[in-house]
Amino acid sequence: MINVHAGGTLHQHVPAHTFTDPVGETHVVNFADGSALASMYGASREVNSLHHQSAATLGAGLMATGTAGDTGIEAIEHDSLPVLAVQWHPEMVASRPRDPLFAWLVDAASQR
């Protein structure tokens, strides 16, 4: 929704990323150097995958900061606003303690 709101487009159906196991970790996402996600996770992270759409062309101000091995966009960040979106569900990953993305969200929201 963020990408479309910013004028971007979607791949309407990405069957390789449509799974039904919400806690299963199914593929690796690689993060762009200098991104907020790289500061949280390092160079890459294994994530669950429950989406059937993904960003195609990015909207104004958005950068692809997480990509899958198939080069699909898995995460976007805004170049000047505290906006970050991911294609996986960190709230459903059972194998780790609290995901650092939640701490980022609370911190970003508390600065408004």
pLDDT in tens, 76-88: 999 999 999 998 8
Write down the pLDDT at residue 8: 96
Q: What is the DSSP string of the chain?
A: -HHHHTT--EES--GGGB-S-TT---EEEEE-TTSHHHHHH-SEEEE--B-S-EESS--TTEEEEEEETT--EEEEEESSSS-EEESS-GGG-TTSSS-HHHHHHHHHHHT-
Delineate the domains of the chain, giving CATH numbers in brackets.
Answer: 2-110 (3.40.50.880)
| Distance separating alpha carbons of residues 82 and 2, to the nearest angstrom | 12
**pTM, rounded to two decimals:** 0.82
| Distance separating alpha carbons of residues 90 and 49, to the nearest angstrom | 10
pLDDT in tens, 12-29: 766 554 555 555 557 889
